[in-house]
Structure 1
Amino acid sequence: MLQEPRLRSLQERHASLERQIAAEGQRPQPDAGTLGRLKRAKLRLKEEMHRLRPAR
């Protein structure tokens, strides 16, 4: 299926954003703007992954 490589790519980017969010959260003074931007990007990826997955 053509969507599977795209889905894997999105999953990798989603995991990368998760790591970035965790790293920012561990800083002594996390940047709220950066955290918000990362979380919004992660949510957009999650929504796109949901659209690409076959209905069950």
Structure 2
Amino acid sequence: MILYMLPLAIGPWQIALIVVIVLLLFGGKKIPELMRGLGSGIKEFKDASKEEDDNIEKKE
């Protein structure tokens, strides 16, 4: 494996540590609200990119 890619390898212990830190920072009640916001942002991005693709296809 290439040495500069080793820090990108995330194992189960690193994921567990990240989850614990997120729980400590935001609390259990705030996380679903954050995930909803993230999901709606991703949905809006996909819709906008699809709309842009449709506009490009119509011009051709």
TM-score where L is the length of structure 2: 0.44
Higher relative contact order (CA 8 A, sep 6+): 1
- Which protein shows a greater Rg? 2
**Structure with greater proportional helix content:** 2
